[in-house]
Amino acid sequence: MKPLQGKVALVAGATRGAGRAIALALGEAGATVYCTGRSVKGSPSDIGRTETIDETAELIVARGGVAYAVRTDHTSEADVKALFERVAAEQDGKLDILVNDIWGGEKLTEWGVPFWEHSLSKGLTMLERAIDTHLITSHYAAPLMVKRGSGLIVEITDGHDYRYRGSLFYSLSKVSVIHLAEGMAADLRPHGVHALVATPGFLRSEEMLDHFGVTEANWRDAIAQDPHFAQSETPHYLARGLAALAADPQLADKSGKAFTSWGLSDEYGIVDVDGNQPHWGNYAAKMGF
């Protein structure tokens, strides 16, 4: 079944992690997917990792989908404007789904440091990458959706509430996009367009696997380093849930709300690619997080 057949999606930050997995899930569900980000073959971003948006698009095509990789610096208004002009030209003005998964703050957060001792330049760069990029991208995507009277904007964050996340710049980055989704939903509702925010649990991304010195094949070896890692999930867990949510005929009722990978699993019967159904919400409540 291809519940998103005929839909046009754009995943901003589709290079790796949740962004790549979401692009794959939308492609498998039938959507034509534009994969954007700064890392392309032969020209990685300053994050310094090997994954590229080209590889993400190739993975979608290899699975029978349709995808395009478009290098875009989402901090650049000119880049983003040109991106959506291209989408509009190639898709006859159609854009059904935008996923804002741009982050780029992995090496910018200084944990265990009060905000006045945290590098100000790193902190402000983090805010630019995590908040400004989402605003710029949504600013140029929304008119395509409003014109057609339909569409969905998904914000990806860490956490589903407004609690402090241990580092002020990091916390502001992640909390802000929750309010961004709420605010966009309010503005877009009269036009038949929806916005919402979603979070994974303990994400077993490529970078997290590298951090623990394991691979997906032997990831459980890292539980000795961090017992909470036993409750981790692959990026595909959230991605599968979002693909199901995007195809939900009751999508309008979900606009403006926050969703979790484990909540989407409960609602749509989502199973992770390893056959597990981790529930970070239940685990966190049990542990008193």
Phi-psi group of 67: left, alpha or beta (phi > 0 → left; psi -120 to 50 → alpha; rest → beta): beta
Catalytic residue of the set 170, 237, 268, 283: 170
Sheet hosting strand 193-199, strand order edge to edge: 66-71, 32-37, 8-12, 97-100, 151-156, 193-199, 258-260
* Residue spans of alpha helices (H) in 164-205: 168-188
Bridge partner list, 152: 97, 194
State how far the Cα of 150 lies from the Cα of 98, in Å rounded to an integer: 12
Task: Copy the structure tokens of residue 155.
Answer: 């914000």
DSSP-assigned states of every residue in 2-33: -TTTT-EEEEET-SSHHHHHHHHHHHHTT-EE
State how far the Cα of 194 lies from the Cα of 206, in Å rounded to an integer: 30
Is 68 one of the annotated active-site residues of the chain? no
CB-CB neighbours of 187 under 10 Å: 12
The set of catalytic residues is 170
